[in-house]
Amino acid sequence: MITDGRGIPLTVSLTGGSRSDVTRLLPLLDTIPPVRDRVGRPHRGPDSLFADRGYDHDVHRDQVQARGIVPAIARRGTCCPITHRQLNASCWPP
């Protein structure tokens, strides 16, 4: 599932129980419909992508970036406690 910044689902895909979610990342990004804002043309895709450590791989970062999306994917092997709704800057690269 991919949601917007307010948590509203934009696109959903179901996979088998033993299948890795990362295999559906790029197809999900490609199925995001244009989102109409209050004024102007619909947005064609997201500006950025926030993902957890399961998606941490340079190939995925490169493919997301090739679509014009800024990837913010947590790094593996880092401790990322969430306190007071703030994310640890060492886990989430800019």
Give the total number of structural domains in the chain: 1
Query: Per residue in 47-91, pLDDT tens?
Result: 888 888 888 888 888 998 998 888 888 877 776 554 444 554 555
Q: According to the 3-state scheme, what is the secondary structure of 19-88?
A: CCHHHHHHHHHHCCCCECCCCCCCECCCCEEEECHHHCCHHHHHHHHHCCCEEEECCCCCCCCCECCECC
Whether 22 is covered by a domain: the verdict is yes
- For 24, the domain range is 2-73
Query: Per residue in 15-58, pLDDT tens?
Result: 777 777 777 888 888 888 877 767 777 777 788 888 888 888 88
Whether 83 is covered by a domain: the verdict is no
Q: What local confidence, expressed as pLDDT, does residue 83 receive?
A: 47
Whether 84 is covered by a domain: the verdict is no
